[in-house]
Amino acid sequence: MKVLIIYAHPEPKSFNSALKNKAFQILSGEGHDIQVSDLYAMKWKAVADKDDFTQLENEDFLKYQVEQKKGNLKEDILQEQKKVEWADLIIFQFPLWWFGIPAILKGWLDRVLTSGWAYSYPNIYDKGPFVQKKVLISTTTGGPEFLYSKQGLNGDLSQIFFPFLHSFYFCGFQVLEPEFFWSPTENKEKRKLYLKRWIKRLKQIDKEEVIPFSKMGEYTELTSLKKPDIDFMKRPKKTDEKKK
């Protein structure tokens, strides 16, 4: 497989960095081709604005998505798009900040997944351009797992990651079960076990099944599912137990 790792953490000594390095090492070892976008190291521009275009269709009124569609994109955006086109699997490695992805990573979505390239109506969801590609998100949390249950204080991670994962479904990507590392800062023993679990998963990553998502045809006029209910993201089983 061709694997693109999008990595968003400011500290090279962090556990996120270790997870990214381990992914590089293991996946290379398994014979996959790897590219890494280290957003902090690249000083990735997070903010979407008129400077993202080599020329503007309308100088007087910036309609960002309209300009995206014209395709006069700056080189940093084009480079990322080429990597996405190349990849079979994209792994996003990042810490959970404010119940979401770091701003620098949101800026990757806002700027790279351009209108006319990542989607163009009605070619969205299972008609989207990236139906052959897979996405895996891998994240660390500050708080412990028990706070993140459906009825727990911080809410369920399937709710927390609904917007992020939905963005990928929107463009057609297939989504793998997310990988969560609960409060790895707690102690070294935990981090060792986490790395072990991560290695085991990565070695089999090309054989994993994706989380099924509703197809366009399953909707009535796109306003409601013909099926009784949508379970957008299956609640991941306790990964430790599952991996045993």
Sites of contact with a copy of itself (CB under 8 A): 10-11, 13-14, 40, 44, 46-50, 60-65, 97-104, 106-107, 109-110, 113, 125, 142, 146-147, 149, 151-155, 159-160, 162-164, 166-167, 170, 216, 219, 221-225, 229-230, 232
- With respect to a copy of itself, which residue has the nearer C-beta, 30 or 156? 156
Residues 146/182, Cβ–Cβ less than 8 Å: no
- With respect to a copy of itself, which residue has the nearer C-beta, 75 or 222? 222
In the complex, what is the shortest distance from the CB of residue 239 to a copy of itself, in angstroms, rounded to a whole number? 18
Residues 115/69, Cβ–Cβ less than 8 Å: yes
In the complex, what is the shortest distance from the CB of residue 81 to a copy of itself, in angstroms, rounded to a whole number? 15
Residue count (the chain): 244
> Which residue type is seen at 118?
A
- With respect to a copy of itself, which residue has the nearer C-beta, 1 or 48? 48
d(CA 243, CA 175): 19
d(CA 10, CA 213): 33
- With respect to a copy of itself, which residue has the nearer C-beta, 17 or 35? 17
Enter the tokens of residue 230: 């949508």
| Burial classification of residue 108, based on how many CB atoms lie within 10 Å of its CB (0-12 exposed, 13-18 middle, 19 or more buried) | buried
In the complex, what is the shortest distance from the CB of residue 31 to a copy of itself, in angstroms, rounded to a whole number? 33
- With respect to a copy of itself, which residue has the nearer C-beta, 60 or 241? 60
For residues 157, 233, 167, 47, the Cα torsion angle rounded to the nearest 10 degrees is 0
In the complex, what is the shortest distance from the CB of residue 44 to a copy of itself, in angstroms, rounded to a whole number? 8
